[in-house]
Amino acid sequence: MTLEFAAVVEDRGFDVEMTVGEGETVAVLGPNGAGKSTLLALIAGLLRPDHGTARLGGRVLFDVDGRGRGPALRPHERGISMLAQDALLFPHLSALDNVAFGPRSAGLPRHESTRRAADWLARVDATALADRRPAQLSGGQAQRIAVARALAAGPDLLLLDEPMAALDVSVAPALRRTLRDVLADRTAVVVTHDVLDAFTLADRVVVIEGGRVVDVGPTRAVLERPTTPFAAGLAGLDLLTGTAHGGGVRLEDGTLLAARSADALATGAAAAVAVRPSAVRVTTGAAPGPTPPANVLDLVVTDLEPRGDVVRVRAGGVSADVLPAVVATLDLVPGSLVRFSFDAEDAVAYLV
């Protein structure tokens, strides 16, 4: 079923409109406090909007006018299941009975509920766990049972709230594969901070910041051509925004950047340059600079972060990945004056 959603929660600064097509999985990305949890609570019926309308297929979830009046279905009437970060299984029930709880609550006979539960345990590769209590399950196993329980209820819409957040890195890939299989052709909304979840599970991405939708589109398109620093960070890119000028992009401080153009850049149009931190070179006043036509930015170091074999140097909202030896040689510390540079062929310019 298609979800059509538009709602305002004034005291949270939330004003979001979005659509999820039938059989489509949409990933909702955004920094902490962006409004992702508010979105899920509104859809699930855990929060009432100040005004707005939401429909799931032919069912009106809520239709609240500007004075806060109007109908709103209770959570159990909405045909929606939610999968949270924690499995939240009933501790006194076996895995099989946990999964059968939804169908049984909906009025299905015990034998039919048990049959459906067994089927879903098989689909999430958890048949061997049927007789175990939650205390006997690992985190990954418990989350598999939670997936089966959510889907056994036969929801028209599945909401997933950071489904991999509480799992060990070694466990998450298996659950991600399970979710990819069970979400095929199913209407779902996945809230996540993990770009891999978006690429693996979602058909489209909605980026929310400050309670507003700031970007929306096919997953690859949004993450390959980000329009906000948050989305750029998820995609592992530096983002510099300005206006198109002479085939390049002029920043607010007047710096003109050259890059490969993905769009026809009409002078004066809002545009951005994206470049990977690994393509950015770092020098100081005491070191030789790059040869033209490299792009050059004179900045002040704000942070240094070890990241595996490299150190990420952040300055002026831009990042560069360099070897530890470079940090030592240049004596880089927060407050150091540095020159970041990158070549035009290593960057992409596009309209935003």
Of residues 54 and 234, more confidently modeled: 54
Domain 3-224: which CATH number of 3.40.50.300, 1.20.1070.10, 3.30.420.40, 1.10.10.10 = 3.40.50.300
**Nearest one of 299, 280, 287 to 343, comparing CA atoms:** 280
- List, as one string, the DSSP characters of 104-135: HHTT--HHHHHHHHHHHHHHTT-GGGTT--GG
177 confidence band (pLDDT: 50, 70, 90):
confident
Residue 289 has pLDDT above 70, yes or no: no
User: What pLDDT, on the 0 to 100 scale, is given for residue 345?
Assistant: 94
Containing 273, the helix (H) or strand (E) segment is: strand 270-275
294 confidence band (pLDDT: 50, 70, 90):
confident
- List, as one string, the DSSP characters of 175-244: HHHHHHHHTTT--EEEE-S-HHHHHHH-SEEEEEETTEEEEEEEHHHHHHS-SSHHHHHHHT-EEEEEEE
Residue 288 has pLDDT above 70, yes or no: no
Residue count of the chain? 352
**If you search the block for the tokens 């980000």, which residue do you land on?**
226
Domain boundaries, the chain: 3-224, 237-352
Map residue 36 onto helix, strand or coil: helix
* 201 touches 194 (CB < 8 A): no
CA of 248: how far to CAs of 245, 270, 273, in Å?
5, 11, 9
Q: How far apart are CA 304 and CA 255, in angstroms?
A: 24
- Give me the mean pLDDT over the 268-274 stretch: 95
172 confidence band (pLDDT: 50, 70, 90):
confident
Lowest-pLDDT choice from 172-181, 254-263, 287-296, 338-347: 287-296
pLDDT digits (tens, 9 = 90+) for 66-79: 888 999 999 999 99
- Across the chain, what does the average pLDDT equal? 92
* 200 touches 176 (CB < 8 A): yes
Residue 227 has pLDDT above 60, yes or no: yes
Of residues 288 and 158, more confidently modeled: 158
User: What pLDDT, on the 0 to 100 scale, is given for residue 263?
Assistant: 87
Question: What is the amino acid identity at position 80?
Answer: I
**What percentage of residues in the chain have a pLDDT greater than 90?**
73
**What percentage of residues in the chain have a pLDDT greater than 70?**
97
pLDDT digits (tens, 9 = 90+) for 186-223: 999 999 888 888 989 999 999 999 999 999 999 888 98
The third-level CATH classification (topology) of the domain covering 237-352 is OB fold (Dihydrolipoamide Acetyltransferase, E2P) (2.40.50)
Q: How far apart are CA 13 and CA 191, in angstroms?
A: 19
Question: What is the amino acid identity at position 191?
Answer: V
| DSSP at 72 | B
**Nearest one of 57, 60, 79 to 150, comparing CA atoms:** 79
User: What pLDDT, on the 0 to 100 scale, is given for residue 155?
Assistant: 92
User: What pLDDT, on the 0 to 100 scale, is given for residue 189?
Assistant: 97
The tokens for 143 are: 């989350």
13 confidence band (pLDDT: 50, 70, 90):
very high
Rounded to 5°, the CA angle 171-174-180 comes to: 135
The tokens for 115 are: 């049959």
Residue 293 has pLDDT above 70, yes or no: no
Q: How far apart are CA 216 and CA 17, in angstroms?
A: 11
Q: How far apart are CA 65 and CA 68, in angstroms?
A: 5
User: What pLDDT, on the 0 to 100 scale, is given for residue 313?
Assistant: 98
**Nearest one of 10, 27, 9 to 18, comparing CA atoms:** 27
Of residues 312 and 172, more confidently modeled: 312
Q: How far apart are CA 74 and CA 274, in angstroms?
A: 45
173 confidence band (pLDDT: 50, 70, 90):
confident
Pairing status of strand 260-261 against strand 310-315: unpaired
User: What pLDDT, on the 0 to 100 scale, is given for residue 140?
Assistant: 87
| DSSP at 263 | S
